[in-house]
Every structure is written in C-alpha cells, then in structure tokens.
Amino acid sequence: MDIHMSDIMLHIDEDLNHREQLIIESQMRNQAGVIGLGYHATQPHLMIVGYDIDATTPKTLLHAVNDFGLHAQLVGFL
C-alpha cells in the first residue's frame, strides 16, 4: 500500500498549555488520514500535521481543529 504523504502547518490563535496541546494532538491523531503531528519547537502555536493526501485534505484538517473549539488558519495556503 502506497501512502502519498504531505504536511501542513496550522497557526492556532489560542495559547495552549502542554496538557491542552496533548489533548488536541490526541484528537487530531484520530482524524482519518493523519499520519503524525507535532508542534513547532520554539513557536508552540504552530502545529505541523503529516497526512495521507488520498485520505484527507488540508481544509478537512483545519475544520477538525476548528471543531474542537479552536481558532486556526492554514499557514502558506491561499
């Protein structure tokens, strides 16, 4: 099985503490197509999500974060 992987960066407006980051990370890992994710080391409001392009889209992942009650934007997308 081939996986066609890409990644996106999401800017999360809210200041999340470590516990909140772990909760969102866990919820995002349950989204279809998510392969892995983490937060930028020096800018924790930036989430990097690796995903299978055949299973999900950047917009779907953005909506998932927003559905968790956060305000986020895709970085570098028009």
**pLDDT for residue 76:** 82
pTM for this model (two decimals): 0.88
Q: Residue 71 and residue 9: Cα distance in Å, rounded?
A: 14
**pLDDT for residue 2:** 81
Domains observed in the chain: 5-74 (3.30.70.100)
Q: Residue 56 and residue 73: Cα distance in Å, rounded?
A: 17
Tokens representing 45 are 């409001």
**pLDDT for residue 66:** 95
**pLDDT for residue 78:** 54
**pLDDT for residue 68:** 93
Ordered mean pLDDT values, 10 residues apiece, the chain (78 residues): 89 94 94 94 92 96 95 85
Within 10 A of 69 (CB to CB), how many other CB atoms are there?
A: 8
**pLDDT for residue 41:** 84
Q: How far is CA 5 from the centre of its chain?
A: 14
Q: Are 22 and 41 in contact (CB under 8 A)?
A: no
